[in-house]
Amino acid sequence: MTTIEKRVITKKPEVLAPAGTLEKLKTAIRYGADAVFIGGNAYGLRSRAGNFTYEQMEEGVEFAKHFNAKVYVAANMVAHEGDAEGAGDFFRTLRDIGIDAVIVSDPALIEICAMEAEGLPIHLSTQASATNYETLNFWKEEGLERVVLAREVSMDEIKEIRQKTDLEIEAFIHGAMCISYSGRCTLSNHMADRDANRGGCTQSCRWKYGLFEIDEAAGRSSMLGGEEEEAFSMSAVDMAMIRSIPDLVENGVDSLKIEGRMKSIHYVSTVANVYRRAIDTYCADPDNYVFNPEWEDELWKVAQRELSSGFYYGVPSEQEQLFGKPRKIPAYSFIGQVLDYDDETKIAVIQQRNNFGIGDQIEFYGPNFSHFEQTIEELWNEKDESIDRAPNAMMTVKMRVSQPVKPFDMMRKQR
């Protein structure tokens, strides 16, 4: 009698989520993220992302430690003359706060961090366009612990990279794609005088453009594609690798990164929740793993564009650009967050985030992929007065729920 050996995953990859604010940091970790990446008030590429003060970083690090999670700080700008002033103090302060690593692309900032903030781990940003194992080994010799691969790297290339280096590999698995190589773009500089590589990107590639045919003889021009179809686009669809968790794990990716520091807690909680469940399910029993379509359905509830696998399985075609009439994406509104719940009365206290009222079909969801739907039948305000709707932002209301809920569970409804 022979014994069939079962595969055992010895190292589960990290779920790395975006956190543009302290609220998003706490949400991401509650909903399953092993680590979050944030921005400070200098040296980053998201000047409008609600970046963290040192005091907020301290609170975030303390919160993360409670959940055995990590906090990384993105300091991945391209430094011009004068931009690196004060960087030594900045990195030393991050180290002393307890930040787990900094994500850097500029060699000067890397050198400053290594020399002046000894002990603070450095990760190479995707902005540095690392696409081969020789590059990873170079940065290993420079003392870096991890490289965030360029989004243009294929799954086959990841496999080879993993075989030829033991440096930690981080790869994007979900979120917005950039039309420029690894995000190194100057469109915003030319079109809006805002430097995309120093924190001021206006996302010019997402603007609407027209493609015109000019008839010089007739002295007129006509727009191609008409109003129904977009004939010219620089806007890529988003990435979603939820169906490829086995490939990512088997090819040794250490950290699976979700894009979106400027997106909402609805997005952060949903996406972290889905990938947490998929990764845990696969790593628990890879031989009997079955993809659950509900995971993908869940991601569509916070999708803003079409979804694709990016460059992982081939060079994207025009099908991975926003051409033509867009697919109708199910639009959900984040309408509230649970503050408290009384098990005896089955009444939940809700902090309103968007208009809802009696008769609305809503969905509750929480960590560990818990979900249920119900119709709102009763509502009360803070004075326990019966109301029909909750129209005021951040107001506190009470409602009877059909199943138990917990603080920080979320409410949403389809628009």
Query: What are the pLDDT digits (tens) for 362-399?
Result: 999 999 999 999 999 999 999 999 999 999 999 999 99
67-102 tens-digit pLDDT:
999 999 999 888 889 888 999 999 999 999 999 999
What confidence score (pLDDT) does residue 235 get?
82
Enumerate residue ranges in the chain where pLDDT < 50: 1-2
Question: pLDDT (tens digit, 9 = 90+) per residue, 97-116?
Answer: 999 999 999 999 999 999 99
Return the closest-CA partner of residue 84 out of 63, 61, 105, 56. Answer: 105
Can you give the pLDDT at residue 230? 65
Q: One-letter amino acid identity for 376?
A: I
Residue 129: what residue type?
A: S
Say what the alpha-carbon torsion angle 392, 394, 398, 402 is, to the nearest 10 degrees: 110
pTM of the model as a whole? 0.90
Give the span between the Cα atoms of 42 and 52, in whole angstroms. Answer: 10
